[in-house]
Amino acid sequence: MNIIELEVWEICLAGALVVALAASTFLARLGIASSLLVSAFRMVLQLSLIGLVLRELFAASQPWLVGVIALVMLLVAGREVSARQKYRLRGIWGYGIGTSAMFVSSFAVSIFGLAAVIRADPWWDPRYAIPVLGMLLGNTMTAVALSIDRLTVSAWQGREVIEARLMLGETGREAVSDLVREALRSGLMPVINSMAVAGLVSLPGMMTGQILAGNPPDDAVRYQILIWLLIAAGCGFGMLIAVRMAAGRLFDERDRLRLDRLTDAGRSSR
């Protein structure tokens, strides 16, 4: 099967639709036209650059280069998790909790999938390692960001209830147990919904890409099933680690609620 190659002008045709959308949002006074255009431009630039980087990485096939790329991806994902919080933890904790949780979950699950399931030779083969880690990090980043944000916002809004439960003799962990459960549900729900409709409502990206590249549909399906299972595990374990760590930072060693450890991102940005 021949792969249909896309020319630059053909991609520009698709870009014209985004420009038309930006113009429509401008006329509707939504205030997001510039953000839409900047995001589209960043996407094109970033993907073009990563395409050049991956071409050289695949040619070199050095484990230390794979490690450097993976570290950069992790650090950028950690920054995005921190930036998406309405109430961020102060200091290094605001960045470190999400980053460390993604490191433990996404890297461990990726290595398991590469070494035990895909069994690439070597297991760190960049043609497999970078795409798998990228998909896990992207989804885990969203899940961790949603769950931490849900926890901190709920704690801020329900601080009187938490204080009352503490006065009744509950520990800090018990006082926020309901909030922790809701935060975990909130973070994992997008993954559950996506898996529930995969194949019926939507064809996931990796499967679609493999089919367009000429791979047999049954092979593409097996790879997509594997990726979704790894994503679910990575998101779930990442959230468990991140939410537990964040909940612990809401209290001091004497189980006193310490909301002064949170900073309002909206106010700090003004």
Whether the link from the prior residue into 122 is cis, omega within 30° of 0, is yes
Start-end of H helices in the chain: 8-27, 33-60, 63-83, 93-102, 108-112, 126-157, 159-167, 172-175, 177-197, 205-212, 217-249, 265-268
pLDDT score of 42: 92
Reported as a single tens digit per residue, the pLDDT across 25-37 is 999 989 899 999 9
pLDDT score of 210: 80
Q: Tell me whether strands 262-264 and 87-89 are parallel, antiparallel or unpaired.
A: antiparallel
Judge whether 241 and 100 are in contact, CB under 8 Å.
yes
pLDDT score of 265: 58
pLDDT score of 206: 77
pLDDT score of 267: 52
Chain centre to alpha carbon of residue 92? 19
DSSP conformation letters of 176-238: THHHHHHHHHHHHHHHHHHHHHBTTTB--HHHHHHHHTT--HHHHHHHHHHHHHHHHHHHHHH
Alpha-carbon distance of 31 to 52, in angstroms, equals 34
Low-confidence ranges of the chain (pLDDT < 70): 1-3, 265-270
Domain boundaries, the chain: 1-60, 63-268
pLDDT score of 129: 92
CB atoms within 10 A of CB 212: 12
**3-state secondary structure (DSSP) of residue 251:** strand
For the chain, what is the mean pLDDT?
89
R_g (Cα) of the chain, nearest Å: 21
